[in-house]
Chains A and B, each alone.
Chain A
């Protein structure tokens, strides 16, 4: 459980600075430092176990289905990295206390920093691949937040996004690699994976998963050709650069190389990919570092170069090279972090990072200068400093490898070349900044930093020297333990002595020092040459790349989605044609075996009228009133067809729906602009006609196929049970109110909602009232015809009588609540038409939405009532009663339900009508132009 706390403490630590925000800066920094300090102590508690080669574990099941568990695993390598992360992290907290200005939000900075620390610790302590990936992505995110800390600067925002994009892409590749490894091995547990070397390497996916894995490592560790994000991440505050972008986060990729070294390395592919990438990065970084005028830029490229060096070491495939790699990780972290902090001090106290302005700072800040020079010397590989030792080991290993067969001698040569440049840029760092004349054009006079801002640098530089002089005493055990976990337990013999005698690696070192000095002295020529090369600005090209990607996406999107409903419909209908048509192609015949009915004169006439009316609707669709009339003919023919084929209920319904629809549409037409949109071009007409025909052909064919098939369905059950179970002889009605009463309840709800929607739409639409019809004839001035109003008034009681009759006979004979409702509605609509809205409103002041609600409520409560009898919702009940005068009468709960239907239909229809009608009355303002 103490292991869990190592992770939890920094995580809780993200909250500490936010809570301590009100305190003074030092107190805030101190409070922030507390959790990681305790975590560091917890790590140190395990020193004995880890150095003796033991692996400490903690396990908690989390998502077993995915193989994602909380698994913490502390071995030598994890221990080493934890020390680096927490140790340097603490120094950074101290340093940032002085680095950040009053205007910067220190709590926010510390919170991000602690988040990053948690993520980084999570990576190194993970014993589960998926958990590792989780923390891996968290480092990208916290790095994004830290780089963009000064978000008002454009380069900070862009640099942050670029880093996120590159490392994010790598993270996704890594995820794919981990998933593949997990599927190959059958477990995401790190111990299992590390023990499955043969299984992984002999699997056919090995090349794919290796490439994906390396993509993840290389993007994170800024290896060529993904190195470009790192220099641009330097827009971050310097503590961030020192911590994330030199000491820890960029080492995460290398950590992974080390972590999975036992499982993935040892193959030809690994050697080639890893070592060549490392070599290229080493050279390019070292060369470019020399030409950077920005202090942090120089250090950034130098970091790239050193990361390349470590990668190359892991790529060589010898055990000693791996040991050297681990050693250089430690050394690079110490000297580079101190150099970054020194650069930050210089920037902070002199106001510039430009080496063309910074000169002769020795006289202003001698102590800082001394510290920086020692660290830079370590970077250059000067003897008696830690950088020298690991570089010696590196040289020795370049001499022992056989990567390129007979051309293997190239590698030590190139390594020496890189070392020469490394010396050259280190010299530039020292000489340009601290000597070389006087400062030029600085805005303020440089001076030493506050006492405690220098402490972190002093600590790290002291380590550089001590490790450089007493390597075996100081870190011998640590290096051994860490190397043991990289190499799977067996560590080769190696010596950490300073003096190995006068051998070839030493010669290479001396050559590098001499050559570096030579190049630095003659740097002017090289600078001139470099200036003739085109300057590639990664930030701008990246930003340009993203912009053009977005532009392309936009172009494509606009091309595909032009905002035209016609296109959407075309695609929808074509989808229909393809999907419904494809199966029919495989069908031999549509005919299903039933005999067709003979065609008689009546049927033929009806069909012909239907066709003609439908066709006429299409032809005259631009004359809306005519088209409407034609549609109503279609509706009429359909209801006649229903009657002819013995479906009187449907016919009645269809008829009344038709009447109401036509009236409402007439009202709606009144408000539509009289000019119809321009006619489609001929090709489009052809297209549309073809699509429509295809749809028609399919619908017709399918209908024919269905109608000629014998059907056995659940309808027979309905026929058999309507009277006995539902208490009615009109099966259609019993289906509506009983068998499928739930559907009916839904459908009347739809009707009610539709009326609400129309009300909602029309009360908000600022539509104007036309004063004349399409041909310019003014509307009749006589508002209400006397004849019509007289007839309408006398019809009303009659119509209501009819609807009551229709309603009650519904259960046994054609009729029912729905039809009755429509008839009532039509009768009332007639009053509106004849007398106008105001007249009706004066006599019948009802809010129709309440009528709708009451109707639905009746239906709902009828259904719920059956709960009282211990039956499911909407269970019907009926019985026969002998009532004096009337005789035997059937009472059924379905009647109550039907009443709900009736009221809802009336309410909805009238609400729609009233909303449309209201637009013509004084209830709403009339548009000025039309008066």
Chain B
């Protein structure tokens, strides 16, 4: 069972390859079923992994039997495994949704989807910064492919922007890795933290430059102002199941920020401790504001949801900038909640658009939806959740976030921005909902009923919200444990680098 940690990477990899080969390749049904079954298995495996981590604490796995810091290691701590669980849960819903017909609108939907999962899971689990780069590439290249799924002018244009910006990001990533490796001489995240703690003064500023460049890369991935421009167009033009899975992609950026700036440049980093916060806090807060403004300005529902993604990213980045255990715990809980609900809303937007005839999801009067009670209920649950209103998970997340801002200045800023943006989101969503469902012209509905598989997928994702609320007690405790583990650098260092004497820094 000790190989279990590789499953989130290898299982989707294997699945993708099998789908490309006979005998699976020949029939759409076989491709779908393999993809869905594999995702379900993946979900089961990662839950087992989570239980393992709960029992044993941090697990690390030396790929190729080369120990850290020389080889690549995979690290499963509560934080990374929760993120992988989230991804698997989300993926199952998105794949089910896509398997109702969307997957046949272009080639290689399922293989690319599984490759994307491989990349995402790898990025969460790796303990090596260069390996993180590799998995970033895997997930990016797969996402380029998925973004253009089902074709169209908008998608192609959005894809060009997305690809160009991300290639720039990759170049900066590589360069910053070069700078960090050139000064620290290692790429293992834990080892880098050790090296940074004992950094000679003349190298400080170079490492700082490298670290800040790395921040640009992660901020671009997370879509933080002023690097967020690719997001609204990309997410709102991607086909629904793809957009749903993309909801977790911004969170990878946030995760990487959290990981790198609380481990490598955490409180032990001497003069470099907390160097990212000065930049991240204003950027995060501005992103919240921009997302709220964008939500109000959105001409269609998909754009609105994309802007809600921005709000959640801004919130998360601000939390990362606070650099406390409580804020990290809040960030983890909020990540799970916001990822699932925004993903569900992308799917809801698609369901609504399919039933409103020509009007689609644009916020103008249109045909009646053919399943008003079902869709209305789903919309309502999603909207309440994402706006942070009770009784669903959003309000637990919001309470946690507000309580985690303790320092006076950040409290005033964060509180006012979060509360004001909540209000703007409420206004935007109530307007969107009443337009989409209530401003109807004619008595005819604009489309057929939604396929059961798609309805299942949406309910699957939304179901998480009440569950996250009801079990908020144990789940918040879990988040807190994850945060404690993240900040307990001594234990993780002893566990990961324990076998080797920690190298003294250069004279």
Contacts and interface: CB of A to CB of B under 8 A. Distances in A.
Contacts of A138: 390-391
Given A714-B69, A852-B20, A853-B21, A65 B477 contact: yes
Contact of B423 (A168, A569, A710, A753): A168
Q: Is the interface of B mostly helix, strand, loop or mixed?
A: helix
Given A747-B137, A760-B148, A718 B186 contact: no
A575 interface: yes
Contacts of B220: 572
B226 A575 contact: yes
A141 interface: yes
Q: Which of B25, B149, B206, B480 has the most CB of A within 10 A?
A: B206
Interface stretch (B48-56, B94-102, B343-351, B427-435): B427-435
B216 interface: yes
Given A557-B293, A757-B141, A172 B419 contact: yes
Given A556-B293, A764-B148, A157 B141 contact: no
Contacts of B257: none
Interface string B144-162: 1100110100001000110
Interface string A567-610: 11101111110011111101100001000000000000000000
Interface stretch (A459-467, A512-520, A701-709): A701-709
A152 B438 contact: yes
B138 A872 contact: no
A699 interface: yes
Contacts of B415: 176, 179
Contact of A568 (B229, B426, B438): B229
Nearest to A69: B473
A26 interface: no
Most buried by B among A169, A584, A749, A754: A749
A742 B212 CA distance: 27
Given A706-B178, A712-B506, A592 B202 contact: yes
A61 B209 CA distance: 48
B232 A561 contact: yes
A567 B229 contact: yes
A683 B119 CA distance: 42
A451 B90 CA distance: 56
A581 B402 CA distance: 34
Interface stretch (B27-35, B110-118, B487-495): B110-118
B198 interface: no
Given A706-B178, A710-B506, A164 B430 contact: yes
Contacts of A860: 10, 13-14, 17
A166 to B, nearest CB: 10
A773 to B, nearest CB: 25
B389 A64 contact: no
Interface in B490-507: 503, 506
Contacts, number: 308
Contact of A741 (B61, B64, B118, B384): B64
Nearest to A561: B229
Given A741-B64, A860-B14, A179 B168 contact: no
A550 interface: yes
A853 B19 CA distance: 9
A168 B426 contact: yes
Contacts of B69: 714
Interface stretch (A252-260, A502-510, A836-844, A873-881): A873-881
B460 interface: no
A573 B168 contact: yes
A572 B160 contact: no
B13 A756 contact: no
B472 A876 contact: no
B285 interface: no
Given A553-B294, A579-B213, A875-B65, A62 B229 contact: no
A61 B473 contact: yes
Nearest to B430: A161
Contact of A575 (B178, B183, B216): B216
Given A152-B438, A580-B212, A565 B164 contact: yes
B461 interface: no
Given A137-B395, A569-B168, A583-B206, A757 B112 contact: yes
Contact of B20 (A134, A849, A875): A849
A863 B202 CA distance: 42
A68 B399 contact: yes
A761 interface: yes
Contacts of A558: 297
A742 B64 contact: yes
A130 B472 CA distance: 14
Nearest to A759: B107
Contacts of A179: 399, 402-403, 415
B62 A717 contact: no
Nearest to A706: B182
Most A CB atoms within 10 A — which of B65, B148, B183, B184?
A: B65
B394 to A, nearest CB: 11
B476 interface: yes
A324 to B, nearest CB: 33
Contacts of A151: 434, 437-438
B40 interface: no
A583 B10 contact: no
B413 interface: no
Contact of A873 (B64, B137, B297, B473): B64
Contact of A65 (B130, B384, B419, B476): B476
A63 B476 contact: yes
A134 B470 CA distance: 13
B423 A550 contact: no
B279 A584 contact: no
B186 A850 contact: no
A148 interface: yes
Contact of B145 (A137, A556, A575, A760): A760
B106 A760 contact: yes
B21 A66 contact: no
A64 B477 CA distance: 9
Nearest to B137: A750
Interface in A126-178: 130, 133-135, 137-138, 141, 144, 148, 151-152, 157, 160-161, 164-165, 168-169, 172-173, 175-176
A66 B399 contact: yes
Contacts of B297: 550, 553-554, 556-558
Given A702-B209, A739-B64, A763-B107, A709 B216 contact: no
Contacts of B134: 742-743, 746-747, 750
Contacts of A172: 419-420, 422-423
A743 B206 contact: no
A740 interface: yes
B293 A161 contact: no
Given A749-B115, A749-B118, A875-B65, A754 B141 contact: yes
A854 interface: yes
B378 interface: no
Given A61-B473, A712-B506, A746 B431 contact: no
9 nearest interchain CB pairs? A713-B185, A757-B145, A746-B134, A706-B182, A583-B208, A853-B20, A134-B390, A579-B212, A554-B297
19 contacts: A65-B477, A66-B472, A168-B389, A179-B415, A557-B293, A563-B233, A572-B226, A575-B216, A583-B212, A709-B182, A714-B70, A742-B64, A750-B138, A753-B141, A756-B145, A759-B107, A849-B20, A853-B21, A864-B10
Given A134-B395, A760-B145, 6 more contacts: A179-B402, A702-B175, A742-B64, A756-B108, A760-B106, A850-B21
Interface of A: 61-66, 68, 130, 133-135, 137-138, 141, 144, 148, 151-152, 157, 160-161, 164-165, 168-169, 172-173, 175-176, 179, 183, 546, 549-550, 553-554, 556-558, 560-561, 563, 565, 567-569, 571-576, 579-584, 586-587, 592, 699, 702, 705-707, 709-715, 717-718, 721, 725, 738-743, 746-747, 749-750, 753-754, 756-757, 759-761, 763-765, 849-850, 852-854, 856-857, 860, 863-864, 866-867, 871-876
